[in-house]
Structure 1
Amino acid sequence: MVEESAPDRTTVATVTRNTASTITAKFQADNSEPVENKNTWGYVNVTEVTDALQDTAAHDVCAPFNAPVPNYRAPHRRTIQVKCYEYIWLIKYREQTILKNEACKRHRLNLPKDVNPPSGERYTYQGEFPHMGIIGWKDKEGDYIFMCAGSLISAKFVITAAHCTNLRDPSVEKPTPDIVRFGDRSIVPEAADAEFTVESKIHRIIIHPVPNYRELYRFRLTE
Structure 2
Amino acid sequence: MTAVQPPLRPERPDRRTASKAARRQAIIDAALALAREHGRRGFSVDQLAERADVSRRTVFNHFGSLDEILLAAHAQVMDVLIDDFDRRSAATPVGDGSLASVFDEVSAALRATDLVGPMAALTHLLDGLDDDDQAGPAGQGLVREVMHRTTARLAADIARRSPDADELDIDLLVHSLVGGLVVLHAHWSARTGAADDDASRAVWAELLERLIGTVRNGFR
- So what's the TM-score if we normalise by structure 1? 0.31
Higher helix share: 2
Kindly name which structure, 1 or 2, has the bigger radius of gyration based on alpha carbons: 1
Higher strand share: 1
